[in-house]
Amino acid sequence: MRVARTGLVPAAALVAVASLLLAGCTSGHPAPGAAPGKSADSLPGASSSPAAGATPLEPLPVEPSAALAPYYAQQLSWKACESDFECSTFKVPLDYAHPGDGHDVVLAAIRRPAADKAHRLGSLLLNPGGPGGSAVEYVQSIAGRYDSGVRAGYDLVGFDPRGVGKSAPITCLAGDRMDTYTATDLTPDDRAETDALVAVDKEFAAGCASRAGDLLGHVSTVEAARDMDVLRALVGDRKLNYVGKSYGTFLGATYAGLFPSKVGKVVLDGAMDPSLDAAAGNLAQAGGFETAWKAFAKDCVKRSDCPVGRTEQEAGDRLTALFKKLDAQPLPTEETRPLTEALALTGVAQAMYAEALWPYLRSALTTAQAGDGSGLLKLADQYYGRSKDGSYENLMFANMAVNCLDLPAPFADPAGVTAAVPAFEKAAPHFGRDMAWMALGCAYWPVKATGAPHTVRAAGADPILVVGTTRDPATPYAWAKSLAGQLESGRLLTYEGDGHTAYQRRNTCIDDSVNRYLLGGEAPANGKVCTD
């Protein structure tokens, strides 16, 4: 993987299944309820302590300043844009330190109005994660799957954060240069390979700077959270009702920390830990992908079509051997682009996001071992948002821009990565080295980070529901434990299972718990566990 994104939302993974002609796969089995006798504290990876030295996120004034008041007084003009949807735009200041200076950003929003207008509960904002995922596209794809009661009571609303999707999207490289960037070796063996990696990282950063201009310094999560408060006011809600997945939990937690008195029913699913610095976060995420690979391997070796052996150890050894072979000689594919080691790792990692993709990964690994890298290349392309015409979605550009602004770079130079590689390889034998080198990109970022590790207390907020999955690859379970522990009103709901995030992934226990909370405010008991 060439960009340290937090992860795709489950909907994106399921769309990938369809695009890869895998109709009929599902992402698990419904669970009737919490496992008897289990608590979240007894589960693996359950450390709940925030990182030492992280400072608390301080709330902002409850009322907007006079300079911000005009933004809060805008009138949204909703117009039909898709069958059941309405679209609008609104303005926010480019720089919240200088509102009203004539430098505004126009943000795109979408809603599906509540079906039962007589008993409408308000708006429910949705964010799919990323950073860089389009909430406008997400709402269009996911709204129909929401519980009928939720659809009846809430307008389902999404907005693309600044720099994302339809909201002044950041672009950095043309398609052919992105092809080079994504395929570049992430396990450099000598000075020449290291220099090549540094060169593409610098090219990516320079491309963002030349195309994004001043916006590049104003796409932080704090600014996006402040934009979300403007939208909360414009849709007429006194408090924010929100479901955020993956990076969307970081955005939601940031909102809660800045505006605790305006927190309504907030669900943070696939939680991030804001107290971690970038190096610690990347290290933990590498371990998350390793955990997910082990779960895949454990499932695979029981199946007749498993291409990686009959034991979990053999599966790991064969994956290592495949990566090593590709490092020496890329595989041909159905396209003109060969499958490199970096692209193969991305393809495998993409399949860790949802069990629905595991059958395709088995097929892709089978064909790769037979000398055809096409299957893994398709998975990698889906991860990066690459279209058949060679163009790339905005996701990866926005992802890097937000990540590099939110936290200082984990490594200053290749020497720093080299020193950290042993720890990464220990945490993740199959993914660690690549993910350590993947984190080098922010070292060359053209704007200085404005964020820092912090804890979020959100004192006085209504109950906030934090959902964690025990074998989540992109947001390790320990992060959910930590965030729920930081929040004064945090309630932890655990899914003991596989895949990235839990809500709306066909687990009855999780879905019922979240829906009851959204519709009636009944948060589940802290520490409730749901199983497959």
User: Contact, 239 vs 264, CB < 8 A?
Assistant: yes
Q: What is the Cα–Cα distance from 337 to 354, expressed in whole angstroms?
A: 26
Residue 145 CB contacts under 8 Å (≥ 6 apart), including other chains: 11, 504
Tell me, what's the pLDDT at 2? 57
Which CATH architecture does the domain made up of 74-169+216-274+460-531 adopt? 3-Layer(aba) Sandwich (3.40)
Tell me, what's the pLDDT at 31? 31
Half-sphere exposure of 386 (CA within 13 A, CB side): 24
pLDDT in tens, the chain (532 residues): 655 545 444 444 444 443 443 322 222 322 323 333 455 655 544 456 777 778 999 999 999 999 999 999 999 999 999 889 999 999 999 999 999 999 999 999 999 999 999 999 999 999 999 999 999 999 999 999 999 999 999 999 999 999 999 999 999 999 999 999 999 999 999 999 999 999 999 999 999 999 999 999 999 999 999 999 999 999 999 999 999 999 999 999 999 999 999 999 999 999 999 999 999 999 999 999 999 999 999 999 999 999 999 999 999 999 999 999 999 999 999 999 999 999 999 999 999 999 999 999 999 999 999 999 999 999 999 999 999 999 999 999 999 999 999 999 999 999 999 999 999 999 999 999 999 999 999 999 999 999 999 999 999 999 999 999 999 999 999 999 999 999 999 999 999 999 999 999 889 999 999 999 999 999 999 999 999 7
Q: b/e map of 311-346 (b: 16 or more CB within 10 Å)?
A: ebeebbebbeebbeebbeebbebeeebebbbbbbbb
Q: What is the Cα–Cα distance from 474 to 185, expressed in whole angstroms?
A: 22
Amino acid at 17: V
Tell me, what's the pLDDT at 40? 60
Q: b/e map of 380-405 (b: 16 or more CB within 10 Å)?
A: bbbbbbbeeeeebbbbbbbbbbbbbb
| Domain residue limits, the chain | 74-169+216-274+460-531
Q: What is the Cα–Cα distance from 362 to 132, expressed in whole angstroms?
A: 29
Amino acid at 424: F
Tell me, what's the pLDDT at 47? 52
Query: How many secondary structure helices (H) and strands (E) does the chain include?
Result: 18, 12
Tell me, what's the pLDDT at 39? 53
Residues annotated as catalytic are 246, 472, 500
Place of tokens 């308000």: 122
Q: What is the Cα–Cα distance from 371 to 348, expressed in whole angstroms?
A: 16
Q: What is the Cα–Cα distance from 521 to 464, expressed in whole angstroms?
A: 10
